[in-house]
Amino acid sequence: MLSKESKIKIIDNSGATLGAIVHIYKTSKAYSGSMVLISIKKTKNQKKIKKKSLQKCIVLKSVINKNHKSGIMLIFRKHGAILLNDKTKILANKIKTARDWRTQKIISILK
């Protein structure tokens, strides 16, 4: 569960590595699959993403235990998100995380 001003790790190869949540769309708390607006805090050197810029992103990993009807429990240790462009498409080419069926479904919708 994420709220405003929470730190979130960027898990794609867009050039940003860390961000802070500025706004959460449609709800007061963010979970996996939520769209948020973040401020970029850390970047890699020669990339097109600049520090202190505002970017939309989708939360893929959230530190919360999810129980499914089938008995499977999803547990993530850290928060993670991928950046989106202005047309809500994925900005990066590669996503650096383990993919389960839920994250794969979110990614396929955004492509």
Q: Please report the pLDDT score of residue 108 as a whole number.
A: 78
Q: Please report the pLDDT score of residue 73 as a whole number.
A: 75
Is the predicted pLDDT of residue 43 greater than 90, yes or no?
A: yes
Spell out the domains of the chain, with CATH numbers in brackets: 7-110 (2.40.150.20)
pLDDT tens string 44-89: 876 788 999 999 999 988 887 667 777 777 777 788 999 999 888 8
Q: Tokens 């590669």 belong to which residue?
A: 94
**What is the distance, to the nearest Å, from the Cα of residue 105 to the centroid of all Cα atoms in its chain?**
14
Q: What is the pTM of this model?
A: 0.81
How buried is residue 13: exposed, middle or buried, by Cβ count under 10 Å (0-12/13-18/19+)?
A: middle
Q: Give the gyration radius of the chain's Cα atoms.
A: 13
Q: Which amino acid is at 85?
A: N
Q: Which residue has the higher pLDDT, 66 or 4?
A: 4
Spatial separation of the C-alpha atoms in residues 52 and 25, rounded to whole Å: 20
